[in-house]
Structure 1
Amino acid sequence: MPYVLGIDIGGTSTTAAVSRLHANGWGEPEVVRLGDRGNAVPSALHMGGDGTLTVGEPARPDATRLARGFSRRIGDDVPLLVGNEPCTPQALTAVLAMWVVERVLASEGEVAEQVVISHPAGWGKYRRELLHRALWEIGLANVTLLPEPVLAAERHAARGVLGGTLCVYSLGGNGYEASVVGWADPVGFRLLGSTAPVDRFGGDDIDDALAALVRGKLGRELRELDGPQVRLALYGLRRECTRAKERLSVEPETDVPVHLPRGHLRVPVTRSELEGAIRPAVRHTVDTLVRTIHAAGVDAGQVDAVVLAGGAVRMPLVAELIATELPVPVVVDADPQSTAAAGAALAAAQILAPPVTEYQDPVWTAEPPALRMSNPEPSSYVNEGEMGAAPPPRPPLSITPLKLPRMRSGQRIRGLVGGRP
């Protein structure tokens, strides 16, 4: 059955969704189960001793062979060292995208008619071209790149959220982004403005705050242990705190298991304790959202709804603080981590039928054009008209090119999706 594929490669997690073509049109997006235990997989690649790259993090990873957060570094001239090999962020992102395409191909039995991949709102043409070239070189030519907030808005509009102006509050694992999008008939949503905060804050920081609460409650038990025993006791604590954070999103209290040499403990924590620890940081993100609205030239009274996206927005505190500043509906998916991926699948279906949205990038089916070696990336608030401004030139760097390993079925996929033979 023909289908389209949407992919969201975030800083910490990657999700995907498909929409299938039925007799009466494209169906509702369905989230793809990429991981063994859930829909998402870590946005991480591990290089084995033989030079092959595998998706995810091993149980005991070698930090020198593990790459994380590379999709957010596209546009940085400095490569990442993975297993002593210099790898560009866009090449690593393309490998992860190819893995998702192959994973879906294995289950669907045929290649996607169209693929849409999300990107941060602040990206300009330079970063999109870097990723386009890397995708083309690995064999993925039938790909369109669209801003994540536009995709999140498309997802919620399809679910019945009405309005010409929406705010998108995205809180992922290692950062957040506030954006404003507006409806432009007939092309769909367009980005009106976006900003990235000065201070980094995301779901990982919430996990750290919860881990600090647990360590504080252990107190004497930890002080009575020596160095190696403390490390052993705290091994896996952060993973348990991640799970406890998810439970606290729906429950007022829970227990965090801690494994001590003398036995196992269950440390009780409450939602109010966690919210007290992170409230100032969440408040700062909401203030950033309000500033973004004003910087985009939109009056707060013109906002029709605030759309939440990203796994960390499950915390009730986020919607609570937004509601105190903006008296409009605050909407969130049951699985907000997959919101952008589902929106990307919807956009992919729309691209196959006119009208084509103004955000559609050219689909490369032949040798892509040479890249302009300037980086038009904004430093603060981003408006559509500012995305083409070039920054000061950077000093030239000499980077040894890395030939990344192909997936086993990569040659077959390259032929199917229109890449080089």
Structure 2
Amino acid sequence: MPYVLGIDIGSTNTAAAVARRHGTTWTRPEAVPLHVGSTLVPSVLCLSEDGSLHVGEPETDDGSRTTRDFVHRIGDDVPLLLGGEACTPQTLTAELAAWVVDRVHALEGGPAEAIVLSHPAGWRPYRREVLHRALSGFGLRHVTLLPRTVTVAESHAARGFAGSTAVVYALGGNSFEAALVRRTPRGTYETFGTPQGLDSIGGADFDEALAGYARTTLARELATTARRGTQAALRGLRAECDRVKRVLTVDLTADVVLTLPSGPARIPVTRAQFEQMIRPTVQATVDLLLRAVQSANLTPAQLDGVLLAGGSTRVPLVTELISAALPVPVEVEPDSQLTAATGAAMAACQVVSPRPRPPAPVRDPAPVSGAGRASVPAPRRPHHDTTVPGDPPPRPPVRVLPLELPKPSRLVLARSRGREG
């Protein structure tokens, strides 16, 4: 069945979604299983001894043959070292994108009719150009690049968001970005104003806050435990804290559990304690969200909502602080880690089957000016113009989506892909 593909390569995880052609329409995008038991694959590349690249976290590695968090480095002239070999960030990103395309090709039995890949909203043309060139080097010559904030808005619109002007809040594992979006005359979305972002803030900070609390609580016990056993226990601490973070999105208490040589240790944590740990970090992201709104000289009353994306946006404190700063509806999807990818698939549908432009309204005859010539209205802005607009269109009603906890992944897949050249 013909299909289109949307890809979101985040700082921590990569997701993909497909929409299939059904007659003259497209089905709702579905997430692609990139892992065994999971729709997410770590945005990690590992160079094996035979020279092939594997996607996903390696079982054992000294760090010199593994690279991660390379997407935000695209455009940087300083290459990354992988197994002693210099690699540009855009080449590594294109390698991961090609792996996703190959995997989906195998699952679907053929190539996609269109591919849309999301990127940070603050990218300028140079970064998009170098990534385009890198993708072409892997045979991906017709990939459409769209700001992540646009694909997030497309996903929310497909689920019922009917607003015209919104601000997107995207919190990744190791990055944050916020930007204003608005509907175009074709019904798609574009960014405007000045996007705000930080590559040093993300959901991983929440995990580390919990891990620091656990280490402090067990400091005396860890000091008297055999060094080898302590190191083995602490290696799994971050993953355990990520689990506890997810539990605390729906429960008021949870236990951080570590297996020490002396036996299992449990550190009780309440949601109130956890929120106190992460409040400064969340507040910093909300301050950037407000700055994005102010960059276009808008007031909260001119927004139809705040659209969330990223796994850690399920933390209740995020919605609480956003709602306090911007008294407008806040929308989060059931699995917010897939929002950008599903929105990219929706945008890919429009690449193949563009929405018809609505008919132009009937206007009174234009007044004659100059030497008998009618005045000509200014042309419409292109789809991704980033200039500051005038007053937004009237606000339609907005629907808030329910918050659900997705099933956690169980296994980690490392599938190899032969290196080019």
SS at match of 2:118: strand
User: Are the equivalent residues in 2 in contact too, given 1:139–1:410 (CA < 8 A)?
Assistant: no
Aligned CA distance change for structure 1 residues 293 and 17 (closer, same or farther; 3 Å) = same
Q: Number of paired residues? A: 368
Match of 2:313 in 1: 313
Pairs within 5 Å for 1:227-306 = 227-306=227-306
Match of 1:348 in 2: 348
Match of 2:386 in 1: 384
Q: Deviations over 1:121-169 (max 9, x none)?
A: 0111111111111111111112100000011001111111111111100
Q: Deviations over 1:301-332 (max 9, x none)?
A: 10100000011111111001101111111000
Letter in 1 for 2:314: R
Q: CA deviation at 1:354?
A: 2.9
SS at match of 1:178: strand
User: Are the equivalent residues in 2 in contact too, given 1:152–1:309 (CA < 8 A)?
Assistant: yes
User: 1 CA distance for matches of 2:321 and 2:385?
Assistant: 26
User: Are the equivalent residues in 2 in contact too, given 1:6–1:116 (CA < 8 A)?
Assistant: yes
Match of 1:418 in 2: none
Q: CA deviation at 1:198?
A: 5.6
SS at match of 1:174: coil
User: Are the equivalent residues in 2 in contact too, given 1:193–1:383 (CA < 8 A)?
Assistant: no
User: Are the equivalent residues in 1 in contact too, given 2:7–2:344 (CA < 8 A)?
Assistant: yes
Letter in 1 for 2:160: G
The answer as to 2:131 corresponding to 1:103 is no
User: Are the equivalent residues in 2 in contact too, given 1:350–1:356 (CA < 8 A)?
Assistant: no
Match of 2:51 in 1: 51
User: Are the equivalent residues in 1 in contact too, given 2:54–2:417 (CA < 8 A)?
Assistant: no
- Larger mean CA deviation between 240-249 and 171-180 belongs to 240-249
User: 1 CA distance for matches of 2:236 and 2:246?
Assistant: 16
Letter in 2 for 1:52: S
User: 2 CA distance for matches of 1:243 and 1:141?
Assistant: 39
User: 2 CA distance for matches of 1:72 and 1:356?
Assistant: 35
User: 1 CA distance for matches of 2:221 and 2:112?
Assistant: 55
Aligned CA distance change for structure 1 residues 409 and 231 (closer, same or farther; 3 Å) = closer
Q: Deviations over 1:349-377 (max 9, x none)?
A: 011123599xxxxxxxxxxxxxxxxxxxx
User: 1 CA distance for matches of 2:61 and 2:12?
Assistant: 16
SS at match of 1:64: coil
Letter in 2 for 1:220: R
User: 2 CA distance for matches of 1:32 and 1:194?
Assistant: 32
Match of 1:23 in 2: 23
Q: CA RMSD in A?
A: 2.2
User: Are the equivalent residues in 2 in contact too, given 1:294–1:300 (CA < 8 A)?
Assistant: no
Q: Deviations over 1:370-404 (max 9, x none)?
A: xxxxxxxxxxxx98259xxxxxxxxxxxxxxxxxx
Match of 1:181 in 2: 181
Match of 1:414 in 2: none
Q: Deviations over 1:199-254 (max 9, x none)?
A: 82101111100111111222321232354443233121111111111111121111
Match of 1:170 in 2: 170
What is the TM-score with the length of structure 2 in the denominator?
0.83
Q: CA deviation at 1:120?
A: 0.3
Q: CA deviation at 1:274?
A: 0.9
SS at match of 1:51: coil
- Larger mean CA deviation between 194-203 and 141-150 belongs to 194-203
Radius of gyration: which is bigger?
A: 2
Identity of aligned residues (%): 51
Aligned CA distance change for structure 1 residues 221 and 383 (closer, same or farther; 3 Å) = farther
User: Are the equivalent residues in 2 in contact too, given 1:8–1:341 (CA < 8 A)?
Assistant: yes
Aligned CA distance change for structure 1 residues 410 and 333 (closer, same or farther; 3 Å) = farther
Match of 1:81 in 2: 81
Match of 1:67 in 2: 67
User: Are the equivalent residues in 1 in contact too, given 2:8–2:340 (CA < 8 A)?
Assistant: yes
Match of 1:378 in 2: none
User: 2 CA distance for matches of 1:410 and 1:104?
Assistant: 19
